[in-house]
Structure 1
Amino acid sequence: MARASKTAGPTTAATVALTKADVAFTPHAYHHDDAATDFGDEAARALGIDPARVFKTLLVDTDAGLAVAVVAVASMLDVKAVAAAVGAKRAAMADKAVAERKTGYVVGGISPFGQKTRLTTVLDDEALAHDTIFVSGGRRGFDLEIVPADLVRLTGAVVAQIRRG
């Protein structure tokens, strides 16, 4: 995996963090439709990738604090499973404004890398079934292809089943 490709995108806090940590990634830029609201599905379609390999980054508000949940766009997030993975009893999706303020990214472009505030990260165990996965690169219309083990190592992620079903 390289640090540049024909579809190279912008420099973001995520790409800076990965480069600084010497983690290999491949950037994939695509045209973002401003009318789109299902950002992960948009990325999968635009890049011609199986949605099971494209992962969304969501913030969950637990009674133990905020947590970052990374789950395939083809799956539904189980917030109770996220709570259990971080040792909390209750959880709900974080408010959009809180998610943007804590991560430094806009919703639809939240990356698990380079966030303003380091939060506990939980990666769905399904990610480990793939050689590489795609996560947001820190902007709408920009994804990063990365080895799941590198995501775990760099973020210190807990790996657990956090998808429903």
Structure 2
Amino acid sequence: MCGAELTSLPEGVQRVARLLQDKGHAHAPQMLDDAARTAQQAADALGIEVAQIAKSIVFRRKSDDAAVLVVTSGDKRVDEKKVEALVGKLGRADAEFVKSKTGFSIGGVSPFAHAVAPVMLIDRELFRFEEIWAAAGHPHAVVRLHPRELEGLTGAPVADVV
């Protein structure tokens, strides 16, 4: 992407695309024909295993109201107790909280280019795959990357959180 085509993308996808471009990432966000609000919808649209979807789960840390973003494999369920042991007590994050803290709507929360930097963890289960796909700032947008690239782009620690 040279920049001009960014302006036709939704604002959240533009932020993600700029960050990826600035970091020299090999792949730009792709817009899907249908929404991929769930890991299964994204996997179906891409023709891949649901486990290859890097889903973003947002929690609200009770002590300071910070967003806690856990990126895990689409076939796994986050164990809140394991996350709490690492970052403190958690509460539920509603749609308004997610949008205000990340800048993205639920179903399109990217692991990077947030409005406010979240506390972030990457689940080690993603490292089972050579290639994963993550939301790219909109329910119709995804981006391809390697788990190590996700780690490098976010600076987030890898942990056992499922």
| TM norm structure 1 | 0.82
How far apart are the structure 2 equivalents of 1:109 and 1:138?
A: 5
How far apart are the structure 1 equivalents of 2:44 and 2:92?
A: 25
1:44 alignment counterpart: 43
Counterpart contact for 1:53–1:132, Cα < 8 Å: yes
Matches within 5 A, 1:15-30: 15-30=17-32
Report the 3-state secondary structure (helix = DSSP H, G, I; strand = E; otherwise coil) of the residue aligned with 1:138: coil
Count of aligned pairs: 152
How far apart are the structure 2 equivalents of 1:140 and 1:66?
A: 20
2:124 alignment counterpart: 125
| TM superposition outliers: structure 1 runs of 4+ over 6 Å | none
1:101-125 per-residue CA deviation (whole Å, 9 max, x = no partner) reads 1111111001011111011211110
Amino acid at match of 2:144: E
Report the 3-state secondary structure (helix = DSSP H, G, I; strand = E; otherwise coil) of the residue aligned with 1:145: strand
How far apart are the structure 2 equivalents of 1:28 and 1:147?
A: 16
Amino acid at match of 2:137: G
Counterpart contact for 1:132–1:146, Cα < 8 Å: yes
Greater percentage in helix: 2
Indicate the larger mover: 20-29 or 103-112.
20-29
1:10-53 per-residue CA deviation (whole Å, 9 max, x = no partner) reads 452111111111122253332225xx7x5221111111110010
Counterpart contact for 2:67–2:101, Cα < 8 Å: no
Over the aligned positions, Cα root-mean-square deviation in angstroms equals 2.1
Counterpart contact for 1:56–1:70, Cα < 8 Å: yes
Identical-pair percentage: 26
Q: Provide structure 2 residue ranges, at least 5 long, that are not aligned to the other structure.
A: 3-7
Q: Provide structure 1 residue ranges, at least 5 long, that are not aligned to the other structure.
A: none
Counterpart contact for 1:85–1:158, Cα < 8 Å: no
How far apart are the structure 1 equivalents of 2:92 and 2:54?
A: 17
Counterpart contact for 1:30–1:141, Cα < 8 Å: yes
| TM norm structure 2 | 0.84
2:72 alignment counterpart: 71
1:111 alignment counterpart: 110
